[in-house]
Amino acid sequence: MSTLKVTAFPWVPPFAQGLVRDLRVRWACEEAGLPYEQVLLQGDDQKSASYRAKQPFGQVPVLEDGDFSLFESAAIVFYIAEKSGKLMPAGLQDRARTVSGMFAALNSVEPHITQLNVIDLFNPDKEWAKLRRPEQEQVVRGRLASLSTWFGDRQYWVGDSFTIADLLLVTVLRNLRHTKILADYPNLQAYRDRGESRPAFQRALAAQMANFG
Ligand SMILES: N[C@@H](CCC(=O)N[C@@H](CS)C(=O)NCC(=O)O)C(=O)O
């Protein structure tokens, strides 16, 4: 059996360190007990035709499993769950709930947080960003309030088992770390903390951060 390989960056700016999406893949591998190696992109690797053939947008992560390669971090963690038989519950309906959680994380929550981060991290001094920020924070808060109400006192998205829905949603919520917003939704903050305190997450984070010196 070949060792899985995941692409990553040798350096990113401090605001992105610990958030780059290869973290999701590392975390899934650690949870599933599948060994992996990282492949650091150097120089213009991102722009090369051979890399673009594997990732059309020149981004990380790409997973390679022997001759097979896959892009999109959510598809990759789904593949790792399928391959390992872990991180997904048994049963049609619980599996469907897990997929629902994956889409909720990436389609209903992450885009709004991304918009806030476009303002806070990439354009903090721009006039348009200052004008837009209060409303964008309200949009994020609206999503978190709805999610918090629905989530209630759950431990994880589906029952008591950690799944790839949790893995994705925790990494999405981490993207608010430069703000104090999550503190206003204690059950979501506790959920994020629960995810981050998992030993597999800590190993994954340490492996990504080790690249940044
Ligand atoms: N939807 C993609 C997004 C991948 C993505 O945004 N990767 C970022 C790092 S987190 C990247 O490679 N950025 C560098 C670039 O776009 O040039 C996924 O989930 O895999």
Ligand 1 atom with minimal separation from the 9 CA: 12
Give me the residues of the chain with pLDDT under 50, please.
none
pTM for the model stands at: 0.98
User: What integer pLDDT is reported at residue 2 of this predicted model?
Assistant: 84
Under 8 Å between Cβ of 77 and 28: yes
Q: Report the C-alpha gap between 29 and 84 in whole angstroms.
A: 9
Tell the residue nearest (CA) to atom 15 of ligand 1.
59
How many Cα atoms are found within 13 Å in the side-chain-facing hemisphere of 133?
A: 15
Could you tell which of 57, 109, 122 is best to mutate to test the pocket of ligand 1, judged by most ligand atoms within 8 Å of the CB?
Answer: 57
Q: What is the distance in A from the centroid of ligand 1 to the CA of 99?
A: 21
Pocket of ligand 1 (CB under 6 A): 20-21, 58-61, 72-73
